[in-house]
Structure 1
Amino acid sequence: MSKQATDINDVLEFPCRFPIKVMGESHPDFQLIIYEVVRVHAPDLEHAHIASRDSSSGKYVSLTVTVTATSREHLDNIYRSLTSHALVKWVL
C-alpha cells in the first residue's frame, strides 16, 4: 500500500485559528515587526495573539502568532512574507 501525501485542505477546515512559529535573533522590535508583517495579511490580528519566548541564551526569540486562516493561499501568503523578512531565521 502506498502512502498519499496529505493536503492541508484535507486536514484543516477553513476558517480556523492557526498558530505560526516565527524565530529570529533577539531584536528589540522583533515582535512589533512580525506583528506588522502578519497584519498585512490578517488585519484582525491583535498583540494578544502573539506569544513570545526567549531562548535560554537570550540570543534568539520565538514567537507563536495565531491567525484566523481563511484558506491555504492565505497561509501561504503569510509564510512567504515572513520567510522573506531579513530578521526571520525560521518559520514553522
Structure 2
Amino acid sequence: MSDDAAPPAKGPDAPSAETLLVFPCRFPIKAMGRADADLEMLVVTLARRHLAADASVAVRSRSSRGGKWTSVTLTIEAHSRAQLDAIYRELTAHEAIAWVI
C-alpha cells in the first residue's frame, strides 16, 4: 500500500462488509399483493413501525394489467441495515403480501 492511499472510510455513514449502502440513504421497497386488499395502507402502516414519527414516505401504487395484483413502492430514508431488515421481515410475514423486493 502506498503512502498516498486513503484509509478506508470509518464511522456510522461508511459502508460495512454487510452492505454497500451508505446510510442514511433514500431506499425503495416494493411489495406486491392481491388487489382486493387495501395494500397501500397496509404496507405504509407496517413500514412506519420502523421509521421515525416525522419520516417522510413517498408512496406509489400500480395495478397489474389484469387488475388482480397491486404493487406498492415506498421510498424511505433508511438509517441502517438493521432497520431495512426489520421492515422486510415485517412485510414478508404478513399474509396479504405475496412478495417484497
- Taking the aligned partners of 2:34 and 2:56, their CA distance within structure 1 comes to 23
Larger relative helix fraction: 1
Q: How many residues align?
A: 83
Displaced runs of 4+ in structure 1, greater than 4 A? none
Which residue of 57, 62, 71 corresponds with 1:62? 71
Distance of 1:30 and 1:84 partners within structure 2: 14
TM-score, normalised via structure 1 length: 0.83
The structure number with the bigger radius of gyration is: 2
2: CA distance between counterparts of 1:83 and 1:28?
15
Deviation at 1:22, TM superposition (A): 0.4
What amino acid maps onto 1:34 in structure 2? V
Query: What displacement does 1:45 show?
Result: 3.8
Structure 2 residue 79 is the aligned partner of structure 1 residue 79: no
What is the CA–CA distance in structure 2 between the aligned matches of 1:72 and 1:28, rounded to whole Å? 29
2:42 corresponding residue in structure 1: 33
Distance in 1, matches of 2:34 and 2:84, equals 23
Runs of 5+ unmatched residues, structure 2: 1-16
Matched to 1:80, the amino acid is R
